[in-house]
Amino acid sequence: MNGLIENLYEEQKEKLTDKVNVNSFSLISVIGKGSYAEVLLARKKDTGTIYALKILKKNKIEQRNQKTHVKVERNILIEISHPFIIKMVYAFQTEKKLYFALEYCPGGELFNLLQKKRQFSEENARFYIVQILLALEHLHKFDIVYRDLKPENVLLDKDGYVRLTDFGLSKKGVKGNKEANSVCGTPEYLAPEVLFRWGHGKAVDWWTLGAILFEMLTGLPPFYTPNREDLFQKIKYYTLKYPAYLSFNAKSLLEGLFRKEPDKRLGGGPNDAEDIKAHPWFEGVNWDAFLRKELKAPYLPIIQNELDVSNFDPEFTEAPIGSFGDTIQEPGQNYAGWSYNGSDSLQNQNGVQIQDQSLPNSQSGFQMEGLDNQQDNKMEME
């Protein structure tokens, strides 16, 4: 009975505080999609502020038992503030859909930049890896493991700096290397302990940091093969071979991040990110200058105006709004307490803080059985 009363209270509170809704925005263009989500460029009508509006279909969430993951994503976006993590300003819902209003990063995905450049120099790769490392370090300080680092989940702002996005597979309350058990992530970036089902934790993020660095430097993810079973066997048992052109320190860093045993992996111990930051490959890095965004990015996005979507995949931007997924949807459940109204200003992105800790615990992952969502290339199985 107490739970019912609490839910009714949350619903009433939501009706009173939900001042922002889908009618508050003008929808402009598709900039991303998944199996039950799409991301739109949108302008808030009263302020003119541009947002990325992430829209999730309730019926798909509920069919795939993803409700808990969606709530975790919402709460992380509210609780965490960091210069290299995407900022959420509003959350609201309709009968059929859930909405996140996120800061818009007009530089598009790091994936698209990497596709154009093929591979980066070590100096340029370091610019991005430093920021990703700082973002992961911040999450780990609050016992959050990200679990889905890949170039598609790293966005670039107008100045070429990064934002981690898509926390649909993240997990809270992870203090070490064993507390999580789901087989989830993107196949090419899975750590061995996930595939072995040893239990996993923060060290999986350092494996994926190595994977994204390897891809930046070579043009392909580590152990890459189009055959998924072969890929998993290589991740579990093979020793990675490195191109001769990699520097000694780059190879040494990658070898440390690709240790199969999570407790022996660089960053896998109690010092977490500090052990990685102390590696010679990062010698001379001014970490505070990165946090203050004082350095010039190696690649500055070409942006014609605030509505320019040319840095996103034309497969998305040329599609009509609402053209992905089901045209007929059944109403979903009410998500009590879902709404969030943050500041309408996106100017202050240099602060590093943690917000209200009292809250409860993409393109989200598909279930491993049947691999029914190949386009997302993401997986999850309890």
Distance CA 54, CA 99 (A): 6
Q: Are 362 and 89 in contact (CB under 8 A)?
A: no
* Residue 327 structure tokens: 């045209």
* Residue 158 structure tokens: 């107008």
- CA 274 to each of CA 141, 266, 361: distance values in angstroms, whole numbers, following the listed order: 11, 10, 27
Which of 228, 197, 224 minimizes the C-alpha distance to 211?
224
Half-sphere exposure of 360 (CA within 13 A, CB side): 7
Q: Which backbone phi and psi does 250 adopt, to 5 degrees?
A: -65, -45
Distance CA 382, CA 275 (A): 31
Q: Are 60 and 67 in contact (CB under 8 A)?
A: no
Question: Per DSSP, what are the bridge partners of residue 42?
Answer: 27, 51
Residue 247's CB is within 10 A of a number of other CB atoms, namely 12
Per-residue pLDDT of 46-73, as tens digits, reads: 999 999 999 999 998 998 888 988 999 9
Strands lying side by side in the sheet with 183-185: 183-185, 379-381, 366-367
Instruction: Please give the CATH topology (third level) of the domain spanning 2-106+304-381.
Output: Phosphorylase Kinase; domain 1 (3.30.200)
Place of tokens 């064993």: 178
Catalytic residue among 148, 157, 272, 376: 148
Half-sphere exposure of 133 (CA within 13 A, CB side): 25
Question: What is the DSSP code (8-state) at residue 139?
Answer: H
Strands lying side by side in the sheet with 97-103: 25-33, 37-44, 50-57, 97-103, 88-93, 340-341
List Cβ neighbours of 164 (8 Å cut-off, separation of 6 or more): 84, 85, 86, 132, 135, 136, 146, 149, 153, 154, 155
The helix (run of H) or strand (run of E) holding residue 8 is helix 2-17
Residues shown for the chain: 382
Q: What distance lies between CA 181 and its chain's CA centroid?
A: 19
Per-residue pLDDT of 148-159, as tens digits, reads: 999 999 999 999
Place of tokens 């070429």: 160
Using pLDDT thresholds of 50, 70 and 90, give the confidence band for residue 266.
Answer: very high
Q: Are 344 and 89 in contact (CB under 8 A)?
A: yes
Question: Per DSSP, what are the bridge partners of residue 43?
Answer: 26, 50
Of all residues in the chain, the percent with pLDDT exceeding 70 is 83
Question: Per DSSP, what are the bridge partners of residue 51?
Answer: 42, 103
**Which own/partner pairs from 353-358 qualify as long-range (CB within 8 Å, at least 24 positions apart)?**
353/81, 354/79, 354/80, 354/81, 354/142, 355/78, 355/79, 355/80, 355/81, 356/78, 356/79, 357/79
Using pLDDT thresholds of 50, 70 and 90, give the confidence band for residue 323.
Answer: low
Active site residue 157: no
Which of 242, 247, 241 minimizes the C-alpha distance to 282?
247
Using pLDDT thresholds of 50, 70 and 90, give the confidence band for residue 326.
Answer: low
Distance CA 284, CA 328 (A): 56
- Domain residue limits, the chain: 2-106+304-381, 119-291
The predicted model gives 28-37 an average pLDDT of 87
Q: What is the pTM of this model?
A: 0.86
* Residue 266 structure tokens: 């660089």
The rounded mean pLDDT for the chain is 86
Q: What is the pLDDT of residue 231?
A: 96
* 119-291: CATH architecture: Orthogonal Bundle (1.10)
Specify the 3-state DSSP secondary structure of 55: strand
Per-residue pLDDT of 143-199, as tens digits, reads: 999 999 999 999 999 999 999 999 999 999 999 888 888 888 899 999 999 999 999
